Structure 1
């Protein structure tokens, strides 16, 4: 799903290209991972309580919280590579005149 969304957003910029397939795939995978981790946190909360060996109750964050933070940082970095953040849009080159706006992946990408 995310791969198609990204291709649709990047096509008008001339950046939905087979040249960037791996990076687009990685960004799509990270966005899907973020969805899964956010779902886990919504359902379970950000932390849990546990009892230490000494019998004290301790609150700990789920590992998914750190995983989500890392996935978000990586996704933002990858999105910036394609000009998908406000600060990066001006740094990304646009399609040259005469190049096709067609999605090279056809139904797979959209």
Structure 2
């Protein structure tokens, strides 16, 4: 049976927020390798720009792993499509005149309006999956970084 209600929040986000519900965190949750996936070559220009801008931040927060690459690529591409549509609409207008077979002239909304709106909705919903919305950020509590908390630094000091 399908799960109902709000989707569960990723454990890393719960940890960053300080586990506000104080419920026990799952101990048997899969822990994928925290490596940044490569930027897909098929992303459009604006999507690649967003990828390069956000990946370091997500990596630093521990919210990016190899298996998250496809979802993050979808987020970036949705943003890229929305930007392309908005550029097109800025240049060509949101509507155009259409003359039907009877000779009547109608003002019609361009298809790019719906395409852009759908891409924006996809982008917004994927942003919440990665904690990228303003509301999600207000719930995240980031601990100050110190060399003592870095496992690599501890290993090197050894």
Structure of higher RCO (CA pairs closer than 8 Å, 6+ residues apart): 1
TM surpasses 0.5:
yes
TM-score (norm 2): 0.55
TM-score (norm 1): 0.77
Task: Encode CA deviations 1:1-32: one digit per residue, 9 max, x unaligned.
Answer: 22212202312321122131111111111111
Aligned residues: 98
CA-based RMSD of the aligned residues comes to 2.3
Unmatched segments (≥5 aa) in structure 1: 101-110
Query: Do 1:15 and 1:94's aligned partners in 2 also have CA atoms closer than 8 Å?
Result: no
Radius of gyration: which is bigger?
2
Of Structure 1 and Structure 2, the greater helix share is in 1
SS at match of 2:116: helix
Query: Do 1:46 and 1:62's aligned partners in 2 also have CA atoms closer than 8 Å?
Result: yes
After superposition, residues 1-110 of structure 1 pair within 5 angstroms as 1-89=49-137, 90=139
Query: Do 1:6 and 1:24's aligned partners in 2 also have CA atoms closer than 8 Å?
Result: no
